[in-house]
Amino acid sequence: MTVSVSTQAPSSGSGHRQPDNLLEVNRLSLAFQTSRGSLKALRDVTLHVPKGSIVGVVGESGCGKSTLIYAVIKLLAANARYNGGQILFKGRDLLPMSLDQIRRIRGSEISMIFQDPMTALNPVHSIRRQMLDIQYRERINSNEKIQRAIAMLEKVGIVDAAGRLKNFPHHFSGGMRQRIAIAMALLSKPTLLMADEPTTALDATLEAQIIHRLRELQQEVNCSILFVSHHLGLVAEFCDRVVVMYAGEVVEEGTIRDIFHRAAHPYTKALLECDPAGIKEKTRFLPTISGDFPDLVNPPPGCIFQSRCRRVMDICAQRAPDLTRAAQGHVARCHLVSG
Ligand code: SF4
């Protein structure tokens, strides 16, 4: 499968590489070795995260969006195999780097916020201990590290941050734990923050508060964010650009306006129709995208979305579509898109 047009930063659309991209994933393919064979979890994935921007990655469960961000920092199961491509971070390819080199980048230049804050926080250590540990690379004394920790906890909205340092994760609510996890992720002033469904476990009010605070901190720290979510409304509010994934492929990429107001790919359109926030009439049944998800051990020839596409044509089963320019800075992987 070839890529005829690169996904680009908003300012370009020219088809040339952007020097101001913080992260460039170029034609990345990755598979998991299973008892059934090689499961092609990512195929020919290309995306760019411009400096200082927030890029959302959306798609149904199993589309590869979380696998993609874990692939960037090589935090994958032992049965994962990279099958080609590049992951350029500040122009350096992370793929050939050793685990030691990657570890030096993780937690300093690239930080991560996980879906469940208990995954990131150690339940048997106090917040004070964990916030000190995370600063182990800093050449400042413990007292200065504590002051930095308190300041960051206050920024994410922890009341009486100094007094609560002695507490353990279980002393905090889910929302407060996620705020602490965000504070820890930002303490190293990363240039890239990757967030994997960071508000999924929270109610709508807390979700809005945390996203609002994250946006403020992103501007303050001046980092870029790669934000994985199945929540389309949140992505529309929070992100600058959106990447739509289906069955391990990028099927569309563009600005918020491109994706939410002039989607070009039939999958993106179907996804938007299924968004509960967009349903106008009262109904007892939420719409779904009909058809079967393709088998990624034996992906079909042609378009990966053909078994569920309402616009499917003969050519779709014969030839895989390229990622094709729909408009400036807006691309889609579909034979219907002619540029
Ligand atoms: Fe549908 Fe064909 Fe476009 Fe695939 S290439 S999304 S099957 S119209």
Q: What span, in angstroms and rounded, lies between the C-alpha atoms of 67 and 82? A: 12
What pLDDT is stored for residue 279 in this prediction? Answer: 67
If asked whether residues 101 and 4 sit together in one domain, one would say: yes
Asked whether residue 2 carries a pLDDT value surpassing 50, the answer given is no
Confidence of residue 33 (pLDDT cuts 50, 70, 90): very high
In a domain, 297, yes or no: no
The string of pLDDT tens digits covering residues 60-70 is: 988 999 999 99
If asked whether residues 156 and 231 sit together in one domain, one would say: no
Question: Cα separations (Å) of 317 from 45, 320, 321?
Answer: 20, 8, 10
If asked whether residues 151 and 172 sit together in one domain, one would say: yes
- The larger pLDDT score, comparing residue 327 to residue 175, is at 327
If asked whether residues 20 and 103 sit together in one domain, one would say: yes
- Give the CA angle between residues 242, 215, 265 to the nearest 5°: 10
Secondary element (H or E) of residue 34:
strand 21-34
Asked whether residue 281 carries a pLDDT value surpassing 80, the answer given is no
Q: What is the mean pLDDT of residues 142-154?
A: 95
Asked whether residue 165 carries a pLDDT value surpassing 60, the answer given is yes
Q: At 200, which CATH number?
A: 3.40.50.300
What pLDDT is stored for residue 175 in this prediction? Answer: 86
Q: What span, in angstroms and rounded, lies between the C-alpha atoms of 244 and 251? A: 6
24 neighbors 72 (Cβ within 8 angstroms)? no
Of the candidates 32, 27, 7, which has an alpha carbon nearest to the alpha carbon of residue 18?
7
Is residue 316 lining ligand 1, measured as CB closer than 6 Å?
Answer: yes
Is residue 289 lining ligand 1, measured as CB closer than 6 Å?
Answer: no
If asked whether residues 71 and 196 sit together in one domain, one would say: yes
Predicted structure pTM score: 0.89
Q: What span, in angstroms and rounded, lies between the C-alpha atoms of 117 and 179? A: 9
Q: What is the mean pLDDT of residues 321-329?
A: 94
Q: What share of the chain is helix, strand, coil (3-state, %, to 5)?
A: 35, 25, 45
Q: Given the structure tokens 């889910």, which residue do they identify?
A: 174
Asked whether residue 1 carries a pLDDT value surpassing 60, the answer given is no
Confidence of residue 11 (pLDDT cuts 50, 70, 90): very low
Q: Whose CA is nearest to atom 7 of ligand 1?
A: 306
Is residue 294 lining ligand 1, measured as CB closer than 6 Å?
Answer: no
If asked whether residues 159 and 267 sit together in one domain, one would say: no
Query: What 3-state class would DSSP assign to 269?
Result: helix
Name the E strands within 197-321: 224-228, 241-246, 249-255
If asked whether residues 41 and 66 sit together in one domain, one would say: yes
**How many angstroms is it from 13 CA to the middle of ligand 1?**
23
- Ranked by mean pLDDT, the top range of 103-112, 216-225, 270-279, 328-337 is 328-337
Q: What span, in angstroms and rounded, lies between the C-alpha atoms of 109 and 105? A: 5
In a domain, 38, yes or no: yes
Q: What span, in angstroms and rounded, lies between the C-alpha atoms of 327 and 333? A: 13
Is residue 323 lining ligand 1, measured as CB closer than 6 Å?
Answer: no
**How many angstroms is it from 333 CA to the middle of ligand 1?**
8
**How many angstroms is it from 157 CA to the middle of ligand 1?**
46
The string of pLDDT tens digits covering residues 239-275 is: 999 999 999 999 999 999 999 999 999 999 999 998 7
Of the candidates 36, 47, 26, 25, which has an alpha carbon nearest to the alpha carbon of residue 79?
36
Q: For residue 208, what are the domain limits?
A: 1-109+190-288
Q: What is the mean pLDDT of residues 11-40?
A: 80
If asked whether residues 127 and 99 sit together in one domain, one would say: no
The string of pLDDT tens digits covering residues 293-307 is: 999 999 999 999 999
Confidence of residue 55 (pLDDT cuts 50, 70, 90): very high
- The larger pLDDT score, comparing residue 134 to residue 119, is at 134
The string of pLDDT tens digits covering residues 68-109 is: 999 999 999 999 999 999 999 999 999 999 999 999 999 889
Q: What is the mean pLDDT of residues 23-29?
A: 97
Tokens standing for residue 261: 């107001």
Tokens standing for residue 307: 């078994």
Q: Identify any residues that bridge with 110 across adjacent strands, giving them in sequence order.
A: 106, 192
Return phi, psi of residue 45, to 5°. Answer: -80, 125
For the chain, how many structural domains are there in total? 2
- Give the CA angle between residues 194, 200, 203 to the nearest 5°: 130
Is residue 266 lining ligand 1, measured as CB closer than 6 Å?
Answer: yes
What pLDDT is stored for residue 249 in this prediction? Answer: 97
Question: Cα separations (Å) of 157 from 153, 221, 246?
Answer: 6, 16, 36
Asked whether residue 323 carries a pLDDT value surpassing 50, the answer given is yes
If asked whether residues 155 and 251 sit together in one domain, one would say: no
Please give the number of the atom of ligand 1 that sits closest to the Cα of 306: 7
If asked whether residues 74 and 197 sit together in one domain, one would say: yes
If asked whether residues 86 and 196 sit together in one domain, one would say: yes
Tokens standing for residue 46: 């290309």
Q: Whose CA is nearest to atom 3 of ligand 1?
A: 334
Q: Whose CA is nearest to atom 5 of ligand 1?
A: 334
In a domain, 331, yes or no: no
